[in-house]
Structure 1
């Protein structure tokens, strides 16, 4: 009996106790097959997972998320696009638009995101910028504004070009911005759509969403998905970028140069990893009182200029802290709503951002105002005295010359 008892104890030690440690520990990051990949918190930009995130690859049709973003930023959905000569001849996937065909931006965006139509991407590019070449310049300009550092776009569709490159991180930055548009989310999560007959097409055009994460009857369906974009060419291999949101927490996942085409399953693994292990914390709300400044008889409430969030691992009880910059506000004049001082925010001894703080009241330094008035008065007096002296000197010169002339004659 004693041997059996000891054996049971050994079983508990070697099997049950290790299992308890595994449950309480944070999950390990998953593995993904794409050569470049990233999981980003959309609110803070914090990187939760990465694999060669800065290495540029040809992105194929994931390029179209930038085309969609620029379309939403520069047009209205009800605008009518008249198709030019070149778009109907675009290579690759298309919905077969015609020269002179008139189609709304809304219809074209559905075709762009659901059917990945290259002819549509060129039609939108010409509508916005006049040509594909000028639109590519706009794409690159916007990419830099979003913080992209490894991107060079040559066309709006993603057709392979050796100079057409981006990275997993840059794709995530673009999707982070695009996901802010409700129209994008509505279009990108639609299972199907039908373009009505136009002036050049008597038949309606049915469109189908190829993104399996939005297909409710698919084994890959993901609760909270906000849409995404796939891409593929022989040279580019497979790519995918998507966003998902749960409990007001949005994550962005991007995969590029994936020869195994496992991006749907890998996206689910990354999203689950992010939502299960991290949480978004709202530290301050816009116009919330952050602290008070009390120095040298000056009492001012300092308000947050914007909402401030940070990301942390679930189960971590530590909180972010802020430190005001060293600045003497008593010597400055300011008005209510002015940015008077900044606070640096840190978490786990790491700086995570800077928050501008606004004054809740006016503060006018009277001594400075008086000094300014006195200075202006002194300047005025000097000017007047100088003018008077000039007049007196001129008058004396005139009198002197008259007297001299009298003496001569």
Structure 2
């Protein structure tokens, strides 16, 4: 009986110890209603959560983040736009633009990103496309490919439904990743309201309000650190949403496409919390660090990090990424100090967590190419020379012997 009691006590003690001193408890991934969803680290590019990430659906007005990206890249916010005949005729949400009205690009961007005004999208597209919306849409699709958005096809700059106008959550997050690098975007997208002053065609001020509740402090969906987002909805497209937030130096992006339940705000918050609560953003190398040395055939090259390298790891996992070089034969190259000469591929627990360009720490001029091999070649040439000399001597000796023999006869 005493032995049984002692055993039970010890067993309970061990259970309590194992429970109390567990290193961490990883949260399960949240459930989201959108048919395509992604949580992306904006710095590393790593996907921390996904649901059908490459399946494309009509994105509605989240399209406008690509429109904004091209406008910010190709124009000045103070440039003046004269409204043509087409913007006032467009369907859907409108600012109420008037043909011949003159507004700044800045005003139209606020209307585009805060109130999701389709006439502002059309006006900006015509302005950047030199009067042609089709030309602007071509630029949208070209830019999508440049960003690696391979499951995207745009037909218009506003997101009005078209069966051929589609995007996946992963692609939408990649566009937001690029757009959020622009400080003018975050300034506009984090503004609660903006007043457009009277113009040559309108005597009244026009106020546009931000539809992104994650930046509205009075909303119960307010999320501290959110620096921008865009909603989208049509009857055919259902609801879509994309947003980005920063905590410390850790920036995350949420993209939700084709949500029939209209839960994109709470779902986005759940995904942001999942990312920040379960993943740690780590710097492994700083720009300028020597991360390896190439040594081969008498050539030694310090390999230097071309940029800072960050990675994401699950909280509680203290393992460190390992890397392998692409193993280019630097002996066959001529390069200068600071040139990109190789690339390191990092993996953590069998998963790729990013690549890092490597710079040379020394010069390698053409005169030093093949240095190691030249010694081998020179040695080999000497052997051939000796052998050839022996053969020639044998031939000459044979010839002289034969000649002497003929002379004696």
Is the structural similarity TM-score above 0.5?
Answer: yes
1:304 and 1:23 map into 2 onto residues whose CA distance is: 33
2:171 and 2:109 map into 1 onto residues whose CA distance is: 22
Q: Quick check: 2:285–2:309 contact (8 Å CA) kept in 1?
A: yes
1:355 aligns to what SS in structure 2? strand
Structure 1 residues 259, 369: CA separation in 2 closer, same or farther (over 3 Å shift)?
Answer: closer
Which TM-score applies when normalising by structure 1? 0.83
Which TM-score applies when normalising by structure 2? 0.83
Q: Residue 142 of structure 2 aligns with which residue?
A: 141
Q: Give the Å deviation of 1:98.
A: 0.7
- In structure 1, the gaps of 5 or more residues are 372-409
Structure 1 residues 20, 91: CA separation in 2 closer, same or farther (over 3 Å shift)?
Answer: farther
Q: Residue 265 of structure 2 aligns with which residue?
A: 264
Q: Quick check: 2:23–2:316 contact (8 Å CA) kept in 1?
A: no
| Correspondence 1:43 to 2:17 | no
Q: Quick check: 2:287–2:305 contact (8 Å CA) kept in 1?
A: yes
Structure 1 residues 257, 324: CA separation in 2 closer, same or farther (over 3 Å shift)?
Answer: closer
Q: Quick check: 1:331–1:365 contact (8 Å CA) kept in 2?
A: no
Q: Quick check: 1:83–1:101 contact (8 Å CA) kept in 2?
A: yes
2:194 and 2:157 map into 1 onto residues whose CA distance is: 22
Structure 1 stretch displaced more, 98-107 or 346-355:
346-355
Q: Give the Å deviation of 1:270.
A: 0.3
1:24 aligns to what SS in structure 2? coil
Structure 1 residues 118, 331: CA separation in 2 closer, same or farther (over 3 Å shift)?
Answer: closer
Q: Residue 79 of structure 2 aligns with which residue?
A: 79
Q: Residue 392 of structure 2 aligns with which residue?
A: none
Q: Residue 100 of structure 1 aligns with which residue?
A: 100
Cα distance per residue 1:73-106 (max 9 Å; x no partner):
1111111111111001111101101111111111
| Correspondence 1:237 to 2:235 | no
Taking only aligned residues, the RMSD between alpha carbons, in angstroms, comes to 2.8
Q: Residue 63 of structure 2 aligns with which residue?
A: 63
1:171 and 1:350 map into 2 onto residues whose CA distance is: 23
Cα distance per residue 1:17-56 (max 9 Å; x no partner):
8975999320000101112211111112211111122111
Q: Residue 178 of structure 1 aligns with which residue?
A: 179
Q: Give the Å deviation of 1:333.
A: 3.4
2:94 aligns to what SS in structure 1? coil
2:265 and 2:248 map into 1 onto residues whose CA distance is: 22
Structure 1 residues 327, 262: CA separation in 2 closer, same or farther (over 3 Å shift)?
Answer: closer
Q: Give the Å deviation of 1:301.
A: 2.3
1:67 aligns to what SS in structure 2? helix
Structure 1 segment 8-407 matched on structure 2, within 5 A: 24-129=24-129, 130-330=131-331, 332-366=333-367
Q: Quick check: 1:154–1:164 contact (8 Å CA) kept in 2?
A: yes
- In structure 2, the gaps of 5 or more residues are 375-409
Cα distance per residue 1:205-262 (max 9 Å; x no partner):
1111111100112111101101100011111111111001111111110111111111
Q: Quick check: 2:331–2:370 contact (8 Å CA) kept in 1?
A: no
Q: Give the Å deviation of 1:70.
A: 0.7
Structure 1 residues 327, 252: CA separation in 2 closer, same or farther (over 3 Å shift)?
Answer: closer
Q: Give the Å deviation of 1:346.
A: 2.0
Q: Residue 395 of structure 2 aligns with which residue?
A: none
Q: Residue 383 of structure 1 aligns with which residue?
A: none
1:212 and 1:156 map into 2 onto residues whose CA distance is: 23
